[in-house]
A and B are shown apart, each in its own frame.
Chain A
Amino acid sequence: MAAVAADATGVAGADARAQRATRGLRSAMAQVGALSGRSVRNIWRQPQVWIPSIAFPLMFAALNTAALGRVPGQIADQSGGTFHPFGPRDVYLDFLFVATLTQGVLFGGLSGGSELAQDIESGFFDRLVTTPVRRASILVGRLAGSAVLGGVQALVFMAVFLAFGARVQGGLAGAVVLPLAAMLLALTIGGLACAMAIRTGSVEAVQGVFPLIFITLFISSAFFPTALMTGWYRTVATHNPLSTMINGMRHQVLVGFDLAEAAKAVLVPGGLATLAIVLCLVSLRARLAQR
């Protein structure tokens, strides 16, 4: 009898525990959902945030094509063959597509960090922290806005570039890789910006990173094939993880869908995003502990 009773309470205890866990998970999801909703909505409500992150890269692309549209698509290389820096179609626009996408996402991804810094400066963050919300939910919620913006940017850029005659050789599969990589890259930048925001609590500090990110982009394969570069510039650009990602994405556009290249396009920003988010969480913990 006693044994049965004990068993029964054991089962009941496990049930209760499972129920609590489910409830905890559900409320964590609700928290992340609500915070993500907020961050996406807030970006949407600030056209001054999303319009430049779409318009400027497109303007830049327009200038670039105007300036470089007649760069020959075929260059004789030392071994006597021809090198097609812009892909087999020899169209600069095709080449530029991924550069514009990356540039836009880098630009937009910072907004997530700026928004968090804004929250910290204004005290809204304190408001959140006095509730029982999980600390990680605050971050994930904040980064969701960046990621969604990154995905939307990718789709808008794709539409514009296709309208202007660019082609994605990888078809649908190749086309799916691009927004995915864009979202992960947005998470990376958003995560770095968030970590920065948490450490400094200052919007200016976060926006001050901007030039640094642009330099990183310019010393990569984004606007020119590394094959055409020389010296240290070429060395840095070749080893720049952004180049690896960009080359992976670009392969889908210029050549065709390729799983290994797709993996590069996704795993590089995926790995970086993970690092950035871990850095963010560590910073958050440190910030909350040293108060």
Chain B
Amino acid sequence: MGDLPIEASGLVRRFGDFVAVDRVDLAVRSGEVFGFLGPNGAGKSTTVRMLTTLLTPTEGTARVAGYDVVREASKVRRAIGVALQDAAIDPLMTGNELLRLQAALQGIPRSAAARRGAELLERVGLTAAGDKRVGAYSGGMRRRLDLALALLHEPRVLFLDEPTTGLDPSSRLNLWEEVRYLNSELGTTVLLTTQYLEEADQLAERIAIIDGGRIVREGRSGDLKAEVGSPTLRIELADGDGVAAQAEAALAPFGEARPCEAGFVAVGLSGGAARMAEVVRALDEVGVTVAGMELHNPTLDDVFADATGRRLEGAAEDTGPDEAGPGTMGSDGSDGRGSGAGAGPGGDGAGPGAGVGGSAAAVSAGRRRGRR
């Protein structure tokens, strides 16, 4: 227990009567990238601020790098690197000046600081901008500088609070690369908060989903998804709806039918992708020609929806068009859940219009409502 880089038990933070963080337990292992996923106002930043000694917990305890965040705050500060969500970088200073200041604050000798600062600027692609004032940096450049600042003293534990919010896709990818590098090459333990499903999926070995101040799910992304249900196999029928009945009959042994639009059939494929070939053969045997096939795995959004009954904000943009298909559409409401093993991403029978293209508009409106 004692050597976990980040551990929290029963962490509570109230602001007046409002409970921002509610009995959060965390155990982040050494060398792990841990994702803290949640919508706006979930309590991510508040948790990070407690772990980085900026806020005192109302209740509970937390240890970072082996030190208590309240009683041994200064030791914690020495061990951690922090890129806060809304801590502006002084726009009047240049990148190099900020690195020098950070070095002095971290007690790094000047010569070592200069070398390391140059190295980090190079790595985050800011060498040319090092002598420019931060006021002239783009959002992405600031984020990268922020990362360089957090890394200057080679922290054992790194906190990144929404490091890619507001970044364009390519800057986001760069930052991901950097986090992966830090983690795999330097063994830095990273706690990263995000509202982006894909980011949590791509970067984090384990994920905690937080909503309303509480951790509602925790585990490996794959396991969390598997808990939600089997993937949906969506098959386009070459001969249209006329053969849908035959197709569904042939598919019955593979799993329960899932709603989808006309000209398609869908099935919750127990056993996963490995059985796709079998499906094709089975359909072939009954004379159904397959025009196309897509396997939709449950997404973290489905996990989130399963846990909270709501969709995560921005999920539609974030996960890409193929996952906004009928497989996920039916499940915007919470009531379609809970029908046991089959409650996959298709959510079964979420309202009268479930499963047909015509309900898409209504469903997405519902989704939007669910976001706030």
Contacts and interface: CB of A to CB of B under 8 A. Distances in A.
Interface string B62-96: 00000000000010011010101011111011000
B9 interface: no
A89 interface: no
Contacts of B92: 41-42, 45-46
A126 interface: yes
B77 A131 contact: yes
B106 A131 contact: yes
A119 B93 CA distance: 13
Interface in A82-101: none
A35 B101 contact: yes
A130 B101 contact: no
B104 A124 contact: no
A22 interface: no
B104 A34 contact: yes
B328 interface: no
A133 interface: yes
A70 interface: no
B84 A130 contact: yes
Interface in A118-143: 119, 122-124, 126-133
Contacts of B87: 122-124, 126-127
Interface residues of B, number: 28
Given A45-B92, A124-B87, A34 B101 contact: yes
A200 interface: no
Interface string A99-124: 00000000000000000000100111
B56 interface: yes
Contact of A31 (B77, B84, B105): B105
A176 B351 CA distance: 85
A35 B106 CA distance: 12
Interface string B96-111: 0100111011110010
Contacts of A19: none
Contact of A130 (B77, B89, B110): B77
B146 to A, nearest CB: 9
A127 B84 contact: yes
Contacts of B56: 289, 291
Nearest to B159: A130
A291 B93 CA distance: 28
Contacts of B90: 38, 42, 119, 122, 124
Nearest to A128: B105
A55 to B, nearest CB: 21
Interface string A8-44: 0000000000000000000100110111001001100
Contacts of B97: 38, 41
A160 B257 CA distance: 90
Given A38-B97, A46-B92, A129 B54 contact: yes
B52 A130 contact: yes
Interface string A44-88: 011000000000000000000000000000000000000000000
Contacts of A133: 105
A30 B89 CA distance: 20
Count chain A CB atoms within 10 A of each CB in B87, B101, B105 and give the residue with the most.
B105
Contacts of A128: 105
Interface in B105-160: 105-107, 110, 149
6 contacts: A34-B100, A41-B97, A122-B88, A127-B82, A132-B77, A291-B54
Given A35-B104, A132-B106, A289-B56, 5 more contacts: A27-B107, A30-B104, A34-B104, A122-B88, A131-B102
